[in-house]
């Protein structure tokens, strides 16, 4: 769920389209855009305080066939993304789970890992290598 | 007598239509897209998210476009939008220890585990205008080297080990929220940090600068400054467990401050903390300095009467939307108020003239 929540809407939509299924469902809670208050910790480790909100979209649905229930709480304001995330959640509880995993979740995770690794590699290239000058006195 | 004034509708409509045209500028020049602002003016986007108190880069970019680049106006738009959002929940406190750092530096220890990672910084640039940017220059690809997969521990945790610094013990109790309950004084540290996190960068910077110049000096060192992405988790009641709801970019600054001890506390290093949305390091450092200045009471320090130690003064004036709302409203029609002032001054003058008249006759 975390993976689809943070994935760019465009990436999820692309992999969802590649999966090529459109199961029938009924809404338990149609997509709703709202805010979640993000908390931090004083000093990084201490007591909680509020930093500010982030936009999220949530929804819940029930598959017509089998009745599996899918929930989604995804970052941003894209209702289609929330719907796809909830469908993925529901389908992961059906016999389509392996198909969904290989067609949507694995490629999505790979894509995010590649992007993240690219940033980490650029950050690593800016790491300072200190060297000490040898001076005259011992 | 109160005279209601109506009218100006046509003038206002025409003014707004012209505003839209001026916003667009010369149509011979290509229009700026929201995505271009999000990607190429990302530090402006960061500031609007931090002070607008809403993490959503697309919305912040849209607000900047709509506000013609006036960032306080853009922050105003975001704050107004924010009020329309139902509050779905509160996150668990983000764990900055597990941040995927773009940048992480320490001004106190050269050889910190995890290293000094400069990231995409203006530091060490020469601040010379780069005319290549005016000429549509292509940027060479930044260097990449294989990255360590090890964690990046907080620098203050090393000092904690030796007991030389105040500890910050975890407490997940729900903090007060100034967007739900109006700010009252004295405010606890959680409220002060929330107010500073959304406070005006310029104001918080100036307050922090004033402590450096001697108005409540607290000898800060930047133990650590880090910028990067952290996961946000939230408990979902329907599921009965916490899930990751997204990933945000934040800037965190921890200062260690010299402290010679007081009646209640032993000599040790004390701490200031800054945490802000986006890549906003000037703001995060400023926040940490002002946070530390306002902790004088709990540390048993003297109140030397410095502005940054006065939480009521700082927190009441840190919010640029409150400030600009009150300031800018005075340019709107005050015809009736002024009319009464005018009457009063005329009356006083007439009275003064009458009082002086007999002398003039003598």
CA proximity to B286, closest of B306, B308, B258, B311: B308
Kindly state whether residue A105 falls inside one of the protein's structural domains.
Answer: yes
Q: Return the pLDDT at B217.
A: 86
Nearest-angstrom CA–CA distance, A2 and A137: 58
Kindly state whether residue A134 falls inside one of the protein's structural domains.
Answer: no
Is A41 in contact with B96 (Cβ distance < 8 A)? yes
**Element holding B261 (H helix, E strand):** none
- Distance from CA of residue B144 to its chain's centroid? 32
Interface of A with B in 70-129 (CB under 8 A): 71, 73-77, 116-128
CA proximity to A53, closest of B180, B331, B140, B150: B180
State the DSSP string of B100-122: EEEEEE-SS-TT-TT--B--S-S
Angle at B163 between CA B282 and CA B174, to 5 degrees: 60
Is B254 in contact with A43 (Cβ distance < 8 A)? yes
Q: What is the mean pLDDT of residues B207-220?
A: 93
Is B96 in contact with A128 (Cβ distance < 8 A)? no
Chain A and chain B share a number of CB contacts under 8 A equal to 230
Backbone angles phi, psi at B209, to 5 degrees: -60, -40
Dump pLDDT digits (tens) for B251-266. 999 999 987 777 777 7
The H-assigned helical ranges of A69-134 are: 79-91, 97-100, 106-124
Residue A99, pLDDT > 70, answer yes
Structural domain for A11, as ranges: 2-111
Structure tokens at B193: 């940090």
Dump pLDDT digits (tens) for B266-297. 788 899 999 999 999 999 999 999 999 999 99
Task: Please state the pTM of the whole predicted model.
Answer: 0.93
Kindly state whether residue A118 falls inside one of the protein's structural domains.
Answer: no
Kindly state whether residue A126 falls inside one of the protein's structural domains.
Answer: no
Q: Return the pLDDT at B194.
A: 98
Kindly state whether residue A137 falls inside one of the protein's structural domains.
Answer: no
Contact B115/A at CB under 8 A: yes
Contact B102/A at CB under 8 A: yes
Is A48 in contact with B174 (Cβ distance < 8 A)? yes
Q: Return the pLDDT at B114.
A: 87
Interface test with A, best of B245, B270, B278 (most A CBs within 10 A): B245
Nearest-angstrom CA–CA distance, A87 and A39: 29
State the DSSP string of B276-340: EESS-HHHHHHHHHHHHHTTTTTTT------GGG-HHHHHHH--HHHHHHHHHGGGS--HHHHHH
Domain ranges of chain B: 14-82, 96-119+151-168+177-324
Residue with more model confidence, B302 or B94: B94
Dump pLDDT digits (tens) for B137-172. 778 889 999 887 777 889 888 877 777 888 888 998
Q: Could you give the count of Cα atoms lying within 13 Å of A95 in the half-sphere of its Cβ? A: 2
Nearest-angstrom CA–CA distance, A136 and A129: 22
Residue B15, pLDDT > 80, answer yes
Percentage of residues in chain B having pLDDT higher than 90? 72
Residue B137, judged by CB atoms within 10 A of its CB (0-12, 13-18, 19+), counts as exposed
Is B243 in contact with A1 (Cβ distance < 8 A)? yes
CA proximity to B275, closest of B315, B224, B309: B224
List, in sequence order, every residue forming a beta bridge with B90; answer none if it has no partner: A37
Pair B239, A93: CB distance under 8 Å? no
Is A6 in contact with B231 (Cβ distance < 8 A)? yes
Is A46 in contact with B116 (Cβ distance < 8 A)? no
Nearest-angstrom CA–CA distance, B17 and B10: 11
Q: What is the mean pLDDT of residues A20-24?
A: 93
Pair A104, A86: CB distance under 8 Å? no
Distance from CA of A61 to the nearest CA of B (A): 13
Nearest-angstrom CA–CA distance, B303 and B84: 41
Residue B362, pLDDT > 60, answer no
Nearest-angstrom CA–CA distance, A35 and A54: 5
B156 CB neighbour count, 10 Å cutoff: 26
Residue B227, pLDDT > 60, answer yes
Sign, CA torsion B42/B151/A47/B246: positive
**Element holding B127 (H helix, E strand):** none
Kindly state whether residue A131 falls inside one of the protein's structural domains.
Answer: no
Q: Does ipTM come in above 0.85?
A: yes
Distance from CA of A12 to the nearest CA of B (A): 14
């Amino acid at each position: 769920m975390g993976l689809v929540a943070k994935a760019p809407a465009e990436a999820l939509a692309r992999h969802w389209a590649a999966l090529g299924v459109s199961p029938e469902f009924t809404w338990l809670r149609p997509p709703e855009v709202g805010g979640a208050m993000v908390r931090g910790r004083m000093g990084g480790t201490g007591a909680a305080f509020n930093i500010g909100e982030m936009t999220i979209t949530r929804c819940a649905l029930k598959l017509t066939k089998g009745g599996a229930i899918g929930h989604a709480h995804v970052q941003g304001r894209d209702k289609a993304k929330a719907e796809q995330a909830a469908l993925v959640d529901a389908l992961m509880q059906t016999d389509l789970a392996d198909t969904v995993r290989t067609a949507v979740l694995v490629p999505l995770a790979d894509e995010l890992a590649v992007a993240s690794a690219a940033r980490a590699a650029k950050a690593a290239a800016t790491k300072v290598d200190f060297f000490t000058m040898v001076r005259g006195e011992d | 007598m109160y005279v209601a004034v109506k009218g100006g509708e046509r003038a206002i409509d025409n003014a707004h239509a012209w505003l839209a045209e001026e916003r667009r500028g010369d149509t011979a020049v290509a229009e700026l897209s929201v995505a271009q602002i999000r990607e190429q003016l990302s530090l402006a986007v960061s500031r609007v998210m931090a002070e607008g108190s809403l993490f959503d880069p697309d919305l912040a970019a849209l607000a900047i476009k709509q506000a013609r680049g006036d960032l306080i106006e853009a922050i105003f738009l975001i704050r107004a939008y924010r009020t329309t959002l139902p509050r779905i929940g509160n996150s668990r406190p983000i764990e900055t220890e597990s941040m995927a750092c773009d940048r992480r530096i320490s001004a106190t220890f050269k050889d910190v585990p995890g290293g000094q990672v400069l990231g995409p910084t203006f530091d060490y640039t020469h601040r010379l205008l780069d005319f290549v940017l005016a000429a549509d220059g292509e940027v060479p690809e930044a260097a990449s080297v294989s990255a360590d997969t090890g964690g990046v521990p907080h620098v203050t945790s090393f000092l904690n080990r030796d007991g030389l610094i105040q500890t910050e013990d975890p407490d997940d109790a729900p903090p007060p929220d100034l967007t739900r309950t109006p700010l009252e004084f004295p405010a606890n540290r959680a409220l002060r940090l929330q107010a500073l996190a959304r406070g005006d960068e310029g104001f918080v910077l100036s307050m922090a600068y004033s402590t450096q110049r001697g108005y409540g000096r607290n000898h800060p060192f930047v133990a650590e400054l880090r910028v990067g992405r952290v996961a946000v988790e939230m408990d979902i009641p329907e599921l009965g467990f916490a899930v990751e709801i997204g990933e945000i970019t934040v800037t965190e600054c921890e200062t260690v401050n010299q402290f010679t001890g007081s009646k209640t506390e032993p000599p040790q290093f004390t701490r200031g903390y800054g945490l802000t949305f986006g890549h906003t390091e000037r703001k995060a450092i400023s926040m940490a300095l002002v946070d530390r200045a306002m902790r004088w009471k709990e540390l048993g320090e003297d109140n030397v009467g410095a502005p940054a130690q006065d939480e009521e003064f700082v927190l009441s004036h840190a919010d640029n939307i409150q400030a600009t709302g009150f300031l800018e409203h005075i340019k709107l029609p005050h015809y009736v108020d002024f009319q009464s002032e005018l009457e009063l001054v005329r009356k006083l003058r007439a009275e003064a003239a009458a009082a002086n008249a007999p002398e003039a006759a003598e």
